[in-house]
Amino acid sequence: MNKTITYKLKEKTLLFMSFLLVAVLVISSCSTDETQTVATFTELVWQDEFDTDGSPDPANWGYEIGTGINGWGNNELQYYTDRTENATVQNGILIITAKEEQFGGASYTSARLLTRDKIEQAYGRFEARIKVPAGSGVWPAFWMLGADCDEVGWPQCGEIDIMEYRRQEPTSVSGSIHGPGYSGETNPQGQITKSYDLENDRFDASFHVFGIEWGPDYINYYVDDVLYNQITPADLKITPDDGSGELAEWVFNKPFYIILNLAIGGAFPGPPNAEEVFPQRMLVDYVRVYKQSNN
Partner 1 sequence: MKNKTLNYSNIILLLVLFFAFTLSCERDLSEEVEFATFSNSAEIFIDAPIGLGTDFYFPFFGSKATAWTVDESQGYESNASMRFDVPNANDPLGGYAGAIFRVDGAGRDLTGYDALTFWGKASQGVTIGELGFGQDFVDNKYQVNASNVSFGTNWVKYIIPIPDSSKLIEERGMFWYSAGTEQTGGLGYTFWIDDLQFEKLGTVGSPRPEIFNGNDEDSQTFIGATAFPIGHSVTFNLPTGFDQTVFLTPSYFDWTSSNPSVVSIDETGFNTALSPGEATITATLAGVQATGSLTSTVLGNFDSAPTPTQNQADVISIFSDAYINIPVDYYNGYFAPFQTTQGQDDIFINGDNVINYIDLNFVAIGTFLDVGSVNATEMTHIHIDINVQEAIDSGDFINIQLINSVGNNEASGTVPISGTELSAYNWVGFDIPLADFGLASRSELGLIFFISDATISNIFVDNVYYYKE
Q: Which residues of this protein are in contact with partner 1, per CB under 8 A?
A: 134-136, 166-171, 198-202, 204-205, 273, 277
Question: Closest separation between CB of residue 202 and partner 1, Å?
Answer: 5
DSSP state of 191: -
Backbone angles phi, psi at 68, to 5 degrees: 65, -165
- Pair type for strands 106-110 and 78-80: parallel
Nearer to partner 1, 48 or 225 (CB): 225
Catalytic residues: 159, 164
CA distances from 274 to 20, 100, 129, 166, 277 (A): 47, 12, 30, 16, 9
Contact 112, 97 (CB under 8 A): no
Core vs surface per residue 81-115: b (16+ CB within 10 A) or e: bbeeebbbbeeebbbbbbbbeebeebbbbbbbbbb
Core vs surface per residue 5-21: b (16+ CB within 10 A) or e: eeeebeeebeebbeeee
Nearer to partner 1, 64 or 204 (CB): 204
Contact 168, 183 (CB under 8 A): no
Question: Closest separation between CB of residue 263 and partner 1, Å?
Answer: 17
Question: Closest separation between CB of residue 198 and partner 1, Å?
Answer: 8
Question: Closest separation between CB of residue 200 and partner 1, Å?
Answer: 4
Nearer to partner 1, 125 or 167 (CB): 167
